[in-house]
Structure 1
Amino acid sequence: MGVTIADVAAHAGVSKTTVSRVLNAKGEINENTVLKVRQAISELGYVPSAGAVGLARGTTQMIGMLVPDMAWAWAGIVQAVVETLETEGFGLRMLTVNRGEESLRRLGLQVAARSFDGLLVIEPEGALASITELHEAGLPVVLIDDRFQRPGFPYVATTNREGGEQAARHLLDIGRSRPLVVTGPEELSCTQERLGGFVDVYAQAGIELDQRSIVCGDFLFESSRSAIAQALADGVEFDAVFGHNDPSAAGVLAALHEAGLRIPQDVAVVGFDDIELASYTYPALTTIRQPMREMGEAAARLLLDHVRRSPQAASSRIVPTSLVVRGSTLEPSAN
């Protein structure tokens, strides 16, 4: 059984009414008493329930959001979620899985305490089974996913395969017939989707990519930089590189600069994501835009539809990618 308001009261040496007043910030309470109650809450790991904080109308007007960490990569999604929820009169409670099983245990306690009405999830590394259980127990959940997982609950995803196709068509359009691909981790579905789309478009153009043209990467700058340096040292000939995300494409740019190659004249480079970094590389990076803000807004609205049990609530949403052309594939116009 979880920690109760009675446990907090006993631990702090006060009445349950006093604990409730502290939680609701009602009435004048001695500062020392407030500190004792808050310390008891912290030491016991008490998660106030919706009722305990005076939200008796059957909804907390709060949405939980579970992310792998607080990294900047989620900024566009989170900002869109916040703006959408605020427009609808909801707040946001951020949660991470930094502590593994301990984080999931705390999440379970907050769900049991009805601390929020629904849960948005980004890339639940190792947590998909636990999230599925929460959904099956009645919690509205929506997954925001760019890695092509397909859970047993609603999700918002993007078009990874089509993004790979868009990158290939652009490179073919500018006359690049010898591409090199630096993939993401091969176990990820998004890697297979992006690679599959890219390879198929080249195959349709009569160009088969051999194994030397495909380098397994890990989405990181330094490993991509090393991979390109090694490919050049091995004598692999290429006139274009498709990096499976923008940090890896930035690593490609660095290696090409170090080798004295001109971009895009000698080698054209395409990334994937269109994070802020893509605008600041030299030259600026042509990339496949993953619509982070649109995904965040779509996920928030989809979850609210399920929280409100709207009969029009969709099961899932797919938000398409798009090509953003910059200087890493096309030289600026002379005009």
Structure 2
Amino acid sequence: MRVTITDVARHASVSKTTVSRVLNGKGEVDALTADRVRAVIAELGYVPSARAVGLARGSSRTLALLVPSLTWPWVGEMLQGVADTAEAAGFGLLLFTCNRGEESMAQFTSQVSARAFDGVLVIEPENPLGAMSALPRQGLPLVVIDDRGRRPAFPSVATTNVAGARAAAHHLLATGRRAPLVVTGPPHFGCVRDRLLGFGQVLREHGIEQPEHRVRQGDFTAGGGQEAIARALAEGVAFDSVFAHNDLSATGVLRALRAAGRRVPEDVAVVGFDDIPVAAFTEPPLTTVRQPVREMGETATRLLLGHLAGTARLTTEPVVLPTELVARPSAPA
């Protein structure tokens, strides 16, 4: 049977608080009592949990990570960046998802109340961050990863969605494409508005209009990308290239073009966004705008750990990491 701190306190005839103070090197315990407690610990073979010691010291050495869904294609890369950085600093992670809506948030809030972690990293949920606003007031630091263009009033790490979309447009124009079709993501996402803005800016700078019939709303899924292209083809829309707002949509675009007998890139060039691992293995391999998702996780974790260590100050000015266009055969340079 596992020996507990209660067993140690009873055998040493002291309180659990006294045992905790001895374990954590507090100076409030006299030397004789401390020696007696240590002797009982040795006799009983008591091993305190790292969590118990951390809480007694006012720190759990644990970070909470709140994610919208583990099924998002780039979440794994971002999680790896967070985990590598946290573990290198001797911190553990508690993972929470928002899959069950209010029930998920209630579970998360109960852990906040229990002070089960020292700080929070949020891969922003689709709903607003209002539920998070109380955390800093409670002394719990918070860093948002990928704010989707909303620029919340929290410390955050974002990426250059406008610049990335501009790079996609420049690349297509440089290869002679003058009639691009855009497959967007859901319009309420800030990154979708930013990517539309950046892409449209470059077209206008080159005197090219983007008519409404060449902007198709998708849902960031392969099925959504496939359906958007199938409908455009059925309506007789003419286009020589496609800019899909994420790589998953782009895989559906490739599938629809193949089914319609359109060659990529000879007939239609295709560019995605994200550079998820599958992008290099589509047929043909996908030209895309690389989001530095692992680096975003690493950077946000370093910001939070620096704040906890007292070596850095969190501000509401976002840290913005650059995107990069990766040319592959679906839209070669």
Q: Which TM-score band (shorter chain)?
A: 0.7 to 0.9
* Residues 257-276 of structure 1 aligned to structure 2 (within 5 Å): 257-276=258-277
Deviation at 1:28, TM superposition (A): 7.2
Q: Deviations over 1:67-119 (max 9, x none)?
A: 12222531111111111112212111111122222221221221121111100
1:328 counterpart letter in structure 2: S
In structure 1, what is the equivalent of residue 35 of structure 2?
A: none
Deviation at 1:296, TM superposition (A): 0.6
TM, length-normalised to structure 2 = 0.82
Secondary structure of the residue aligned to 2:191 is: helix
1:144 counterpart letter in structure 2: I
**Whole-angstrom distance in 1 between the partners of 2:145 and 2:238:** 38
Q: Aligned pair 1:197/2:169, yes or no?
A: no
In structure 2, what is the equivalent of residue 245 of structure 1?
A: 246
Could you tell which deviates more after superposition, 94-103 or 204-213? 94-103
Structure 2 spans left out of the alignment, 5+ residues: 10-15, 17-22, 24-40
1:57 counterpart letter in structure 2: R
**Whole-angstrom distance in 1 between the partners of 2:288 and 2:123:** 22
Residues 149 and 189, structure 1, Cα contact 8 Å, conserved in 2: yes
Deviation at 1:152, TM superposition (A): 1.5
In structure 2, what is the equivalent of residue 17 of structure 1?
A: 6
Secondary structure of the residue aligned to 2:225 is: helix
Residues 239 and 267, structure 1, Cα contact 8 Å, conserved in 2: yes
Q: Aligned pair 1:68/2:73, yes or no?
A: no
Q: Aligned pair 1:99/2:88, yes or no?
A: no
In structure 1, what is the equivalent of residue 319 of structure 2?
A: 317
* Residues 3-82 of structure 1 aligned to structure 2 (within 5 Å): 17=6, 55-71=55-71, 72-82=73-83
Could you tell which deviates more after superposition, 279-288 or 140-149? 140-149
Residues 74 and 293, structure 2, Cα contact 8 Å, conserved in 1: no
2:78 counterpart letter in structure 1: I
Q: Aligned pair 1:138/2:127, yes or no?
A: no
1:207 counterpart letter in structure 2: I
Structure-2 change in CA distance of 1:250 and 1:28 (3 Å): same
Structure-2 change in CA distance of 1:145 and 1:19 (3 Å): farther
Deviation at 1:16, TM superposition (A): 8.9
Deviation at 1:19, TM superposition (A): 12
**Whole-angstrom distance in 2 between the partners of 1:309 and 1:257:** 55
Secondary structure of the residue aligned to 1:215 is: strand
Secondary structure of the residue aligned to 1:161 is: helix
Structure 1 spans left out of the alignment, 5+ residues: 1-14, 30-47
Deviation at 1:213, TM superposition (A): 1.0
Residues 49 and 115, structure 1, Cα contact 8 Å, conserved in 2: no
Q: Deviations over 1:193-240 (max 9, x none)?
A: 001100110110010111111111111111211111111121111100
Structure-2 change in CA distance of 1:311 and 1:225 (3 Å): closer
**Whole-angstrom distance in 1 between the partners of 2:286 and 2:127:** 32
* Residues 162-311 of structure 1 aligned to structure 2 (within 5 Å): 162-311=163-312
Q: Deviations over 1:237-274 (max 9, x none)?
A: 11000000001111110011011111001100000000
1:181 counterpart letter in structure 2: V
1:64 counterpart letter in structure 2: A
Could you tell which deviates more after superposition, 66-75 or 247-256? 66-75
Secondary structure of the residue aligned to 1:156 is: strand
Structure-2 change in CA distance of 1:313 and 1:226 (3 Å): closer
**Whole-angstrom distance in 2 between the partners of 1:19 and 1:276:** 52
Residues 49 and 113, structure 1, Cα contact 8 Å, conserved in 2: no
Identity of aligned residues (%): 50
Residues 302 and 314, structure 1, Cα contact 8 Å, conserved in 2: no
* Superposition CA RMSD, Å: 2.5
Structure-2 change in CA distance of 1:314 and 1:130 (3 Å): closer
Structure-2 change in CA distance of 1:274 and 1:180 (3 Å): same
Secondary structure of the residue aligned to 1:264 is: coil
TM, length-normalised to structure 1 = 0.82
In structure 2, what is the equivalent of residue 327 of structure 1?
A: 329
Q: Deviations over 1:157-201 (max 9, x none)?
A: 011111110100000010100000011111211111001100110
1:69 counterpart letter in structure 2: S
2:328 counterpart letter in structure 1: R
